[in-house]
Amino acid sequence: MGTWMPILAALAVVLAVALVIGHRVRRGPDLGAEFARRRAALLAAAPAPAKPELTEALIAPLPAPVQRYLRVTGAMGKPPVRSVELHFDAEMFSRPGAAGLRGPALQIDRFDLPRRLFFMRTRKAGLPAAVLHDYRGAQASMQVRLASLFDVVDLRGDALARTETVTLLNDLCFFAPSWLVDARLAWTAINDRRCAVSFTQGPHCVRAALEFNDAGELVNFHSEDRGARQKDGSLRLLHWATPMRDYREFEGRRVATRGEAVWSYPEGDFVYGRLSLTHITFDATP
């Protein structure tokens, strides 16, 4: 009986959560199966018309640090990638000082649609947990499900869609820089190592500042347009940054492989996520 006590205690926690937050908890199927279904449909979706290869003439209107970045990342002479599929070792934190939730994460971006899926498996309160983000331009959702039974987080709406538009812009900058010539982006030059960009997607226009090092690599992304989820489920706009480092080459393209996600609260910075990229596939097929 003793060996079952931790499991029974963990299940009791789940039931207590369900009773406390009532209507905010939904029962549903395994999120992994749902992610697999959405991933297959995403990769099978018809592509937009092919874009031309990047040339010096094509990138000439961009700020100087962006031009250098495209050269050092191997984007020149190739058409923009249609999609990226990224495998991470991830660690996420719910609050400063809390134990991290560790696990493998898989993310897929389609920039021509656009669409973004993020899926992570981990453990919470001793139980298996799954996290699924789904961004579809004007719509977005975020779910956290315990033991394939209850959604302890089920967030949707316009504010989340705007927040996830910032996330897509971040992905585009770090993992698919060949898309930095896209017409949805508007650039402002600042100096030899910084510039600003705005990204218009559907009803949302979000902005960011990009920071580059002497080697021409993008090393940080700053935005004031992304919301941090609060205990009551609301999204609070805060300064958001993603310092990145350790560039490696995959399939002839160089991308950053290690980084953090940081919220700047009035009381101090909070590193709520750490990601280590283990593999990336460009233009994945079903």
Query: What does the pLDDT read at residue 129?
Result: 94
User: Residues, the chain, total?
Assistant: 286
All residue ranges of the chain with pLDDT < 70 are: 1-29
Q: Which CATH architecture has domain 2-282?
A: Clam (2.50)
Whether residue 85 contacts residue 63, with contact meaning beta carbons closer than 8 Å, is answered with: no
Pairing of strands 244-250, 235-241: unpaired
The H or E element that residue 165 is part of is helix 158-175
Q: Where are the domains of the chain?
A: 2-282
Report the candidate in 140, 41, 21, 91 with the shortest Cα–Cα distance to residue 271: 91
Query: What does the pLDDT read at residue 52?
Result: 95
Query: What does the pLDDT read at residue 19?
Result: 39
User: Residue 78 has which token pair?
Assistant: 């190739």
**Chain mean pLDDT for the chain:** 90
Q: What is the b/e burial string over 204-213, where b = at least 16 CB atoms within 10 angstroms of the residue's CB?
A: bebbbbbbbe
Query: What does the pLDDT read at residue 29?
Result: 67
CA gyration radius, the chain: 20
